[in-house]
């Protein structure tokens, strides 16, 4: 069970209006066209290092790995990212967001999960 520290304040926000700030963790229950959950952080870094036949150091951060691959394999990297972060299926629990009074959604994610959650909504 999820523990909410200020439950009354949370419930008030859900009813009166909230802003959602979504990071990579928001999308962990979504899957790509191959039925594989979307990666975050180090998991994505590991996937990206497999794109190249060159030995990319495990000491690189995700950002550094992406930068190196962007230089070496721009088209291959872009194609991989587009395919990997196009959501084909997601957990139905995401639909609860539709019932909240959402004022705005701010996301750092590159996937299309938010669009899909609201795609068929008649109220949002």
Rounded Cα distance, 63 and 3, in Å:
33
Burial category of 47 from C-beta neighbours within 10 Å (exposed 0-12, middle 13-18, buried 19 and up): middle
Rounded Cα distance, 89 and 36, in Å:
9
Backbone angles phi, psi at 78, to 5 degrees: -60, -45
What sign for the dihedral angle of Cα 63, 69, 70, 71? positive
Digitized pLDDT (tens) for each residue of the chain, 124 residues in all: 667 788 888 778 777 888 999 998 999 999 999 999 999 999 999 999 988 877 787 888 999 999 999 999 999 999 999 999 999 999 999 998 888 888 899 999 999 999 999 898 777 6
Q: Is the separation of the CB atoms in 84 and 47 below 8 Å?
A: yes
Total-model pTM: 0.81
Burial category of 14 from C-beta neighbours within 10 Å (exposed 0-12, middle 13-18, buried 19 and up): middle
pLDDT at 81: 97
Tell me the HSE value of 50 on the side-chain side, using a 13 A CA sphere.
7
In whole angstroms, how large is the CA radius of gyration of the chain?
A: 18
């Amino acid at each position: 069970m999820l523990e909410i520290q200020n439950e009354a304040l949370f419930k008030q926000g859900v009813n009166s209006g909230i802003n959602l700030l979504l990071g990579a963790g928001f999308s962990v229950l979504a899957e790509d066209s191959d039925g594989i959950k979307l990666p975050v952080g180090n998991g994505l870094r590991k996937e990206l290092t497999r794109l190249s036949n060159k030995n990319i150091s495990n000491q690189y951060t995700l950002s550094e790995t992406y930068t190196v691959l962007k230089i070496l394999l721009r088209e291959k990297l872009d194609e991989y990212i587009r395919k990997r972060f196009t959501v084909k299926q997601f957990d139905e629990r995401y639909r609860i967001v539709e019932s909240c009074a959402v004022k705005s959604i701010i996301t750092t994610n590159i996937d299309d999960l938010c669009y899909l959650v609201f795609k068929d909504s008649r109220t949002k």
